Amino acid sequence: KDVLEIALTLEKEAADLYRNASSKAKDPEIRKIFDHLVAFEKVHVKKIETALAAL
């Protein structure tokens, strides 16, 4: 359980990092890449939350 909680924290921090980078990016294509990365991290967060709920 501890490992999943750490993973959850890391995934949320990664999403925040990418969201912040997206907001600072001047190039729309770069923003789009960061936005896609945020979406991937959100999927990871949901999977980890599901795993935690099953414990």
> Where in the chain are the domains?
2-53
- Residue 15 CB contacts under 8 Å (≥ 6 apart), including other chains: 38, 41, 42, 45
Does the pTM exceed 0.95?
no
What is the distance between the alpha carbons of residues 43 and 24, in angstroms, rounded to a whole number? 23
- Residue 44 CB contacts under 8 Å (≥ 6 apart), including other chains: 11
**CATH class of the region 2-53:** mainly alpha
- Tell me: the pLDDT tens digits for 4-21? 999 999 999 999 999 999
- Tell me: the pLDDT tens digits for 19-28? 999 999 999 9
Q: How far is CA 37 from CA 1, 22, 45, 47, in A?
A: 25, 10, 12, 16
